[in-house]
Amino acid sequence: MKVGVFICHCGNNIAGTVDVARVAEETRKIPGVAYAINYMYTCSEPGQDQIKDAIKKYDLDRIVVAACSPRMHELTFRRTVEKAGLNRYYFEMANIREHCSWIGEDRELNTNKAMEAVRAAVAKVMQDKPLYSSSFAVNKRVLVIGGGVAGMQAALDCADGGHEVVLVEKSPSVGGMMARLDKTFPTIDCSICILGPKMVDVAQHDLIKLYAYSEVEEVKGYVGNYQIKIRKKATYVDWTKCTGCGECMEKCPSKDAYDSFNFGVAPTKAINIPFPQAIPKKAKIDPTYCRQFTKGKCGVCAKICPTKAINYEMEDEIVTEEVGAIVVASGYGLLDIEKMGEYGGGRYPDVITAIQYERLLNASGPTSGHIVRPSDHEEPKTVVFVSCCGSRDKSIGVPYCSNFCCMYIAKQAILTKDHMPDSQSYVFYMDIRSPGKGYDEFTRRAQEEYGTKYIRGRVSRIFPKGKKMVVRGADTLLGTTVEIEADLVVLANAVTAAPGAPQLAEKLHISYDTNAFYVESHPKLRPVETNTSGVFLAGCAQGPKDIPASVGQGSAAAAKVLSMLSKDFLENDPAIAQVNQNACVGCLKCVKTCPFQAIVEEELRGGKVVAKVIQTVCAGCGVCTSTCPCGAIQLQHFTDNQLLAEVNALCLS
Amino acid sequence: MNAQELRKAAKEVLPSVDVVIGQRAGFDPLHAEPCFATKPEDVDDFIASPLCVHNLASYLPSLKGKKVAVVVKGCDSRTVVQFLEEGLIKRENVTVIGVPCSGIISVKKVLERVSHEPIQSISFDNETVTVKTNKREEKIPLLEVAPGKCTTCQYPNPLIFDVLVGQKLEPRGSAEAVYDDIREFETKSLEERKEYWEKTLGRCIRCYACRNACPLCVCQESCIAETRDPHWMSQKDDPKEKMTFHMIHAIHLAGRCTECGECERVCPMDIPLGQLKKKINMGMKELYDYVPGINPEEKPPMYVFKVEEDKIEEHELS
């Protein structure tokens, strides 16, 4: 066995604090190492050529590169050794940058650690076995989770690319948050007017199959071959018959149902269609308010329905769809303002959230676009906006900026003046974040043309005084406290991950951060991929972002899906679990612990029961290998013997 | 424990099964041995006394496919339950004849008491053991010559049975006291404990009797201690290798060991192997609120993949 070791300077990244020449010199003394050299940039073309030349010249059969993290260049070098005629798994990477040179300044210690890392990698590479991928067919259908603007964009782009799309939306209509907005910044164009055509496109596209009021129940399978169980929640209305005429909604005697589309600004009927432009425009019954369910008798809607679509006996239905790729665009949630006790959120009717205010501004909202105070339905003359309500506040558990509040506050202030020219708006802000195209001009217009008074400081308390709400805060520019007697207070409450986001992530086997936003594969270079191949991200599920960014990401995710689906076959990663049938005792502990259900029971001829790995389902996580008591199941490329060789090399040195 | 009643019960069960496993008198008055009864006359050999030290449940997984009736004490019954939890046996193939037990003897302890003189007879009265050798007769309280598990026995009555022979009994002492010995040992310093185990496990001759007798060791001859692939340990005769073997065995039993004590009973070098497993069980109780071999419907914590453990904080689901 002849091992070649290439030690990279990475410019000064490694050579700055590691004596690379000494590492090479010491490496030459390791038994089995036939060649070792240090080089400026091993990942460069001449660097790779050097590896290929050395393989030929010195007849090397195993290669170690001591450089950066394998997450950066493992694939690069695997291809290099493969081009030189070796199996791509006859290659190991020792991370002497992230693990050594970048973490300490002591040259001596770093050099020693680098040598140890190389020794371990050499020991491992000498145990490596050649591995070969197998290829499997790809299902070219796409699942999009979430029918907001990002999800719709992804669905439309994938469908336009010629692929069947299954679009699953949790609520009864597509449209998401954008469908609730009145106008959009910075152009003040009507939100539903620009979103409506997209919603109609989704409904009319031959290749898009829409499951509204449905949720993803279970995700099984792997990239290219997913089986998705979708729960179609009971609407108690047969949507194949419902024409969306709305007569049921008109006659329904139960008038105090919570209207989640309007965020509770006004009650709705127990049977309702969320909004006039809803897609699909179908009615659904809310059983917590419907008299047929709460009192056991009523049946008005069933009597009135011209198509006899009402079915009180309806139950949830589970359907299975098979897809090859998944786009997750599950959107965001909003901070419960009851967490902001000092702002009186939830206690005072005239302290509302910005999305509720948006519904008051909206012509199709419950007040037909007339701004009124929730307490007495009078027009407010003084409106105070509080930005960063929860955002950038660690004590609330929201350390991040919610991204688009500064912009919609400016928009809402402008609209307030438009609706009520004699009104005065105030904005409490920490700083104005308006870096987008035309954004800063827009916030300036709110101040300069619309006379909105911006007060730099935070609000400490909001309390009632007669019919008014007193907003007490600091003006840090003047260095004083201010009190404003407002008729209405609008809180820009923080954007949070969508309710149920972690649970969905667990189903999809994708990671999420401490705030439950989904984690992209690389924050700069792989912004829509996840670490689970075949699952892509779009919109606010990945982090708060405004409409243009969400739409852009929707299209980006679709582009990634389309490039993946342009192949008829995908190659699997051979670094997966494998069972040694001779050693397997058939306790089947691995079957029970496998997080991916990738292991099944198999009866051999003669009746011996053993475990069997389904190659394409195995994700190579290694849970089974630590579970197996007799070491019969081994993760290829990370077998016990390979890891023990590394450990022994480290312990003996 | 009443042998007559047991024989009667076993005879009633016998026609519906392939074999009834009980215990009969062995080569000397002190030793009992397992008895596989397939005919009614075999059953007449069955005994029921503190001499019945074997955990007969151990045989169940190897008799897969047969209808088996097995006589179990309270502690043995936990093994049956654990087999069911792990899916190693099928309930419908097993008939459990339960015998409440007030304690058994430790052969090693009895022999020690009589200076290893040949035993001529042994008899039991209430909780007193009368041992006769050719030189003397000694009356000993049973608990003084019982294995450690009996002194704090919480499960004198079988937890699972189809037929119960005899009256139910009360547990000995409080449940908290079960782990007192482990807690006491833990008051020692790390060095003292290390020294103790190195010395104690250094006696091991790697005969693997503990492993072979363990009802829950599923690997047996496929043991990681005897294979080169993966090569976790060598055959070298040194304390490190011995310790590695015993630690691996203990870890493999995490959340599985029912503390039946077979490993200790069969150890020719008298190594207190049960202590290691007890210590792990104590941790399993704290971390997972799980006690092995109690409820056949339960899932052992090491047999499921859970993203979030209830008591281990990694990250929180909101």
Tens of pLDDT, residues B59-93: 999 998 899 999 999 999 999 999 999 999 999 99
Model ipTM?
0.86
* Residue A287 DSSP code: T
The pLDDT of residue A645 is 96
The pLDDT of residue B173 is 86
* Element containing residue A286 per DSSP (H, E): none
Q: Band of the pLDDT at A222, cuts 50, 70, 90? A: confident
Q: What is the pLDDT of residues A586-621, one digit of tens each?
A: 999 999 999 888 999 999 998 889 999 998 888 899
Residues A365 and A478 reside in one and the same domain? yes
Q: Out of B232, B252, B317, name the one closest to residue A640 (CB).
A: B232
Residues A76 and A202 reside in one and the same domain? no
Helix (H, G, I), strand (E, B) or coil at A501: helix
Q: Is residue B93 part of a domain?
A: yes
Q: Does B227 touch chain A (CB under 8 A)?
A: yes
Residues B164 and B275 reside in one and the same domain? no
User: How many domains is chain B built from?
Assistant: 2
Residues A72 and A85 reside in one and the same domain? yes
The pLDDT of residue A615 is 87
Domain boundary among B111, B145, B173: B173
d(CA A423, CA A382): 6
Residue B92: CATH number of its domain: 3.40.50
Distance from CA of B58 to the nearest CA of A (A): 15
- Closest-CA residue of B relative to A623 is B305
Residues B223 and B77 reside in one and the same domain? no
Residues A274 and A414 reside in one and the same domain? no
Q: Is residue B108 part of a domain?
A: no
Q: Is residue B132 part of a domain?
A: no
Q: Out of A580, A630, A639, name the one closest to residue B224 (CB).
A: A630
Residues B232 and B289 reside in one and the same domain? yes
Residues A359 and A248 reside in one and the same domain? no
Domain boundary among B142, B173, B204: B173
Mean pLDDT of A328-333: 98
d(CA B315, CA B318): 9
Question: Whose structure tokens read 């099928």?
Answer: B90
Residues B159 and B23 reside in one and the same domain? yes
The pLDDT of residue A466 is 94
Contacts of B303 in chain A (CB under 8 A): 589, 592-593
User: How many domains is chain A built from?
Assistant: 5
The pLDDT of residue B315 is 56
Residues A48 and A12 reside in one and the same domain? yes
Domain that holds residue A623: 577-636
Residues B87 and B23 reside in one and the same domain? yes
Residues B181 and B87 reside in one and the same domain? no
d(CA B177, CA B182): 10
Residue A75: CATH number of its domain: 3.40.50
Question: Whose structure tokens read 């009256």?
Answer: B167
Q: CB A595 to CB B305 under 8 A?
A: yes
Residue A221: CATH number of its domain: 3.50.50.60
Q: Is residue A501 part of a domain?
A: no
Question: In the predicted model, is pLDDT for residue B318 greater than 70?
Answer: no
Contacts of B232 in chain A (CB under 8 A): 631, 640, 644
Average pLDDT, chain A: 95
Question: In the predicted model, is pLDDT for residue A76 greater than 80?
Answer: yes
Distance from CA of B222 to the nearest CA of A (A): 6
Domain boundary among B119, B139, B173: B173
d(CA A318, CA A231): 5
Residues B3 and B56 reside in one and the same domain? yes
Q: CB A634 to CB B230 under 8 A?
A: yes
| Residue in A67, A5, A78 with CA at minimum distance from that of residue A41 | A67
Helix (H, G, I), strand (E, B) or coil at A271: strand
pTM: 0.73
Residues A465 and A548 reside in one and the same domain? no
Contacts of A587 in chain B (CB under 8 A): 86, 88, 218-219
Residues A478 and A408 reside in one and the same domain? yes
Mean pLDDT of A126-137: 94
Q: Out of B86, B220, B230, name the one closest to residue A640 (CB).
A: B230
Residues B80 and B204 reside in one and the same domain? no
| Residue in A236, A403, A411, A244 with CA at minimum distance from that of residue A334 | A403
The pLDDT of residue B309 is 76
Distance from CA of B95 to the nearest CA of A (A): 22
Distance from CA of A529 to the nearest CA of B (A): 22
Mean pLDDT of A265-294: 95
The pLDDT of residue B228 is 86
Helix (H, G, I), strand (E, B) or coil at A592: helix
| Residue in A160, A158, A197, A142 with CA at minimum distance from that of residue A175 | A197
The pLDDT of residue B316 is 53
Strand order in the sheet with A208-211: A208-211, A165-168, A142-145, A325-328, A535-537
Residues B73 and B181 reside in one and the same domain? no
Q: CB B218 to CB A514 under 8 A?
A: no
The neighbour count for residue A21, using CB atoms within 10 Å, is 14
Question: In the predicted model, is pLDDT for residue B247 greater than 90?
Answer: yes
Q: Band of the pLDDT at B163, cuts 50, 70, 90? A: very high
Residues B184 and B288 reside in one and the same domain? yes
Q: Is residue B292 part of a domain?
A: yes
The pLDDT of residue A649 is 95
Q: Is residue B146 part of a domain?
A: no
Q: Is residue B44 part of a domain?
A: yes
Contact between residue A269 and residue A334 where contact means Cβ atoms under 8 Å apart: no
Q: Is residue A523 part of a domain?
A: no
The pLDDT of residue A309 is 96
The pLDDT of residue A434 is 95
Mean pLDDT of A492-501: 96
Residues A402 and A286 reside in one and the same domain? no
Tokens, residue A461: 């308390």
Residues B39 and B78 reside in one and the same domain? yes
B23: buried, middle or exposed (CB in 10 Å: 19+, 13-18, 0-12)? buried
Q: Is residue B148 part of a domain?
A: no
Q: Does A630 touch chain B (CB under 8 A)?
A: yes
SS (H, E, C) A603-617: ECCCCCEEEEECCCC
Q: Is residue B267 part of a domain?
A: yes
Residues A274 and A398 reside in one and the same domain? no
Q: CB A587 to CB B88 under 8 A?
A: yes
Domain that holds residue B275: 174-312
Residues A417 and A344 reside in one and the same domain? yes
| Residues with Cβ within 8 Å of residue A407, at least 6 apart in sequence | A185, A186, A434, A436, A439, A442, A443, A546
Residues A341 and A466 reside in one and the same domain? yes
Question: In the predicted model, is pLDDT for residue A316 greater than 70?
Answer: yes
Q: Band of the pLDDT at A537, cuts 50, 70, 90? A: very high
Q: What is the pLDDT of residues A277-286, one digit of tens each?
A: 999 999 999 9
Question: In the predicted model, is pLDDT for residue B317 greater than 70?
Answer: no
Q: What is the pLDDT of residues A371-400, one digit of tens each?
A: 999 999 999 999 999 999 999 999 999 999
Residues B88 and B178 reside in one and the same domain? no
